[in-house]
Structure 1
Amino acid sequence: MSQFSRLFWIEWKKLFADKTIRKVVFLVPIIYLTLFGFLYSEEKVTNIPTVVVDADQSELSRELYRGFDADETFGLIGTVPTEEEALRWIDEGEASIALMIPAGLEQNIKAGRGAEVLTVIDGSNMMISNTAVRAANTVVKTISAGATLKKLEAQGSWGDEGMALYTGIDFRYRVLYNPTFSYLSFMVFGLAGTVLQQVLFLGIALSVAQEKEQGTWQTSVATNSFFAITASKLLPYLLAGTLNMFIGFTLLLKGFGVPYAGSTVDLMVVATAFNLAVLCVGYMISYFFKDQLQSTQIAMMIAVPSFMLSGFTWPFLSMPTAVAAIGKSLPLTYFLDGVREILTKGHGLSAVGHDLLVLAFMSVVSLFVAYLIYTFQKRKTAGTQAESTIG
């Protein structure tokens, strides 16, 4: 047997003999691919929350309403009397699209005058905005063609005149928050948050696991309080993570000129809450595993798919309920929502109160679970030492 063959078979046997490596190579890809398959199982974005302003109150405006209602892309959630009210719904996140039907629409069409319908779209999620623009244009043009054909039919005007048909309703749209459909403004914040989260997850998980491998963890648990251990572990990484967040977003906003509307101070408040939640979750995870390899695996399994599950690119409304529930249990989801509210929409901390509350809740629950495990390990260590003394 050649040297290559011998080395190959040694590694091949290790691949199947080591349970940890076997899981990484064969099980993790299946888990990810199954999860992503369910994530995009809806195939397209549907039921986008849509509000309607009908200032015309005509048969044609009602036909437009029915057209949007029949298209699965839109989920009509109500009508409001004014454009200002519709824009407020979009600004507060209650709706993603507002259909503005102007007064005199039907009369202008009957008189042969041009008329337009405006669709206002929340552009902070490009998947929603791109889908909405295409679908709204299709619905308006379809209704417009139908209305014009009815007029021609009533006049007996077909043939060449019908071929030169003028569609009377002109479709207009206005995109809020990201009017240029810039992928730099859209994607870069999500990717930045994902990278910074992964660094913190790995850092804190490896910190505890390293002590376990070195055999100093039991001594540390037996001789130090939970508060002392936790504070000493979390604080350095919290400071480093906050500094990384500051440097990273300064580079993006100032160095690359990514446009933003809100306060960077508010952003750092959300970033600190996010960093703390990530560290607490990572710290809790580290209690369950005996070495750095296992801790790394779990941290990576959480961090890698979290960007796609966060609702930042593919909206929760188009995810299966179970998959959306997983996404809503991840810290990155609430950080990216806060970034979008502050930097993209220009809102203050009052708009991200829910995000801050959930991140704080994640931190508290994670620390509580870690405390329970710490208490169990401390009692176990004390019992072991007592048996050794008696022996």
Structure 2
Amino acid sequence: MSNFTRLFWQEWHSIFRNKTIRMVLLVVPVLYFTLFGFLYSEKKVMEIPTVLVDADQTELSRELHRAFEADQTFHISEIVGTEAEAMRLIDEGKAYVGVIIPANLEKDVKAGREAEVLTIIDGSNMMISNTSVRAANTVIKSVSAGVTLKKLEARGDWGEEGKTLFTGIDYRYRVLYNPAFSYLSFMVFGLGGTVLQQVLFLGVALSVTRQKEEGTWLGLLSQNGFAVLAAGKLLPYLLVATFNLVLTFTLLLKGFGVPYYGNPAHVLLIGTAFNIAVLAIGFAISFFSKDQLQATQIAMLIAVPSFMLSGFTWPFMSMPDGIAAIGQSLPLTYFLHAVREILSKGHGLSFIAHDFAVLGFMTLLGLFAAYLAYLSQAKKRTDLRVHESTSV
């Protein structure tokens, strides 16, 4: 048997003997693609919360209202009286699209004067904005075509004379926060947060398991309480993570000139809360993992799909409930939402209070899980000492 053949079969058998490697190579890809298949099972963005302003209150405006309700893309969640009210709801994130039907729309159409319907669209999520622009245009043009056909039929103008008849309603849209549909303004914040999370998860997840493999972990447990252990272990990673956060967003905002409208100092605050939550979860993973390979596997299992499940690109409204629940249990979801609120929309801290609260809860949950593991492992260390002294 040649050296190549012997090495090949040794490695082949080792893949199937090692449970962790077998999971990484054979189970994780199937798990991810099953997850992503369910994630996009709706196939398109639907039921986008939409606010309607009907200043015309005529049969034509009611027909437009019915047309938007009938289209699966939109969900008329509120009807308000003014454009300012619609803008407020969009700014607060309670709606993503505003349909503004102006006064005298039906009169202008009947008189052959210029008539138009305006849609105001939240452009901070390009999947929503692109879908909304196309779908709203289709809805309005369909209603407009119906109006034109009715007028032609009533007048009998089906020949050359009919071509001069006013063709109905024009469609106009205004995109907020990202009017140029720039992928640079949209994608880089999400990708930046994803990289920061992945690096931090891996670093802290290996912090305890490294010492487990070196055989020094139980000794460290006996010498330090949990608070000292957590602070001493996590603070160095927090300092490095803060440096990476500042460097990353300085590079994006100043180096690449990505436009922003809020206070970057607020990104530092929410970024610190995010880093601490990731550290707490990674610390718990490290406690429960038996070695570095297992810790890496668990950390990657969480970190890799986080961006897809965060609602940053594919909105939660178009996810199955189970997949949305997974996405809403990940720290990256709340960090990216806060970054978009601050930098893309120019909002202050009051708009991200919920993100702070959830990240704080995740931190407590991670530290509590790590503390339970600490108590269990410290007890094992004590029992081992008692057994050794009894044996002697």
Q: Which residue of 1 aligns with 2:171?
A: 171
Q: Which residue of 2 aligns with 1:336?
A: 336
Cα separation, 1, equivalents of 2:228 and 2:212: 17
The answer on 1:107 being equivalent to 2:107 is: yes
The answer on 1:26 being equivalent to 2:26 is: yes
Give 1:131 deviation, angstroms.
0.1
Structure 2 unaligned residues grouped into runs of 5+: none
Cα separation, 2, equivalents of 1:188 and 1:161: 53
Cα separation, 1, equivalents of 2:232 and 2:165: 75
Report if aligned partners of 1:209, 1:289 keep a CA contact under 8 Å in 2.
yes
Q: Which residue of 2 aligns with 1:64?
A: 64
Give 1:6 deviation, angstroms.
2.1
Give 1:166 deviation, angstroms.
4.3
Among the aligned pairs, what percent are the same residue? 65
Report if aligned partners of 1:310, 1:333 keep a CA contact under 8 Å in 2.
yes
Q: Which residue of 2 aligns with 1:270?
A: 270
Give 1:221 deviation, angstroms.
1.0
Cα separation, 1, equivalents of 2:101 and 2:15: 64
Aligned positions, number: 391
Alignment of 1:29-108 (within 5 A): 29-108=29-108
Alignment of 1:1-391 (within 5 A): 1-162=1-162, 166-391=166-391
Cα separation, 2, equivalents of 1:18 and 1:229: 32
Cα separation, 1, equivalents of 2:147 and 2:317: 33
Report if aligned partners of 2:124, 2:186 keep a CA contact under 8 Å in 1.
yes
Cα separation, 1, equivalents of 2:103 and 2:4: 80
Cα separation, 1, equivalents of 2:131 and 2:164: 29
Q: Matched residue of 1:276: which SS?
A: helix
Name the aligned partner's letter for residue 310 of structure 2.
S
Give 1:33 deviation, angstroms.
0.5
Cα separation, 2, equivalents of 1:214 and 1:9: 30
Name the aligned partner's letter for residue 176 of structure 2.
L
Cα separation, 2, equivalents of 1:206 and 1:383: 26
Name the aligned partner's letter for residue 111 of structure 1.
A
Structure 1 unaligned residues grouped into runs of 5+: none
Report if aligned partners of 1:117, 1:172 keep a CA contact under 8 Å in 2.
yes
Cα separation, 1, equivalents of 2:390 and 2:14: 42
Name the aligned partner's letter for residue 293 of structure 1.
L
Cα separation, 2, equivalents of 1:121 and 1:326: 27
Name the aligned partner's letter for residue 89 of structure 2.
W
Report if aligned partners of 1:119, 1:174 keep a CA contact under 8 Å in 2.
yes
Report if aligned partners of 1:273, 1:360 keep a CA contact under 8 Å in 2.
yes
Give 1:152 deviation, angstroms.
1.0
Moved more, 13-22 or 189-198: 13-22
Give 1:38 deviation, angstroms.
0.3
Name the aligned partner's letter for residue 313 of structure 1.
T
Name the aligned partner's letter for residue 235 of structure 2.
L
Name the aligned partner's letter for residue 359 of structure 1.
L
Give 1:320 deviation, angstroms.
0.3
Cα separation, 2, equivalents of 1:163 and 1:229: 81
Cα separation, 1, equivalents of 2:315 and 2:163: 41
Q: TM-score, normalised by structure 1?
A: 0.98
Name the aligned partner's letter for residue 312 of structure 1.
F
Q: Matched residue of 1:246: which SS?
A: helix
Give 1:164 deviation, angstroms.
6.4
Cα separation, 2, equivalents of 1:144 and 1:120: 19
Name the aligned partner's letter for residue 137 of structure 2.
N
Q: Matched residue of 2:50: which SS?
A: strand
Cα separation, 2, equivalents of 1:227 and 1:7: 47
Q: Matched residue of 2:335: which SS?
A: helix
Please give the per-residue CA displacement for 1:198-230, whole angstroms capped at 9, x wherever unaligned: 010001011111011011111111221000000
Report if aligned partners of 1:123, 1:129 keep a CA contact under 8 Å in 2.
yes
Please give the per-residue CA displacement for 1:299-350, whole angstroms capped at 9, x wherever unaligned: 0111000000000000000000000000000000000000000000000000
Report if aligned partners of 1:141, 1:167 keep a CA contact under 8 Å in 2.
no
Give 1:3 deviation, angstroms.
2.7
Give 1:240 deviation, angstroms.
0.8
Give 1:373 deviation, angstroms.
1.1
Q: TM-score, normalised by structure 2?
A: 0.98
Please give the per-residue CA displacement for 1:126-152, whole angstroms capped at 9, x wherever unaligned: 000000000000000000010111111
Q: Matched residue of 2:117: which SS?
A: strand
Q: Matched residue of 2:57: which SS?
A: coil
Please give the per-residue CA displacement for 1:221-247, whole angstroms capped at 9, x wherever unaligned: 122100000001111111110110001
Q: Matched residue of 1:173: which SS?
A: strand
Name the aligned partner's letter for residue 50 of structure 1.
T
Q: Matched residue of 2:305: which SS?
A: helix
Cα separation, 1, equivalents of 2:89 and 2:352: 16
Give 1:15 deviation, angstroms.
1.4
Moved more, 8-17 or 269-278: 8-17
Give 1:19 deviation, angstroms.
1.2
Please give the per-residue CA displacement for 1:38-79, whole angstroms capped at 9, x wherever unaligned: 000000000000000000001000000000000000010121
Give 1:9 deviation, angstroms.
1.5
Q: Matched residue of 1:43: which SS?
A: coil
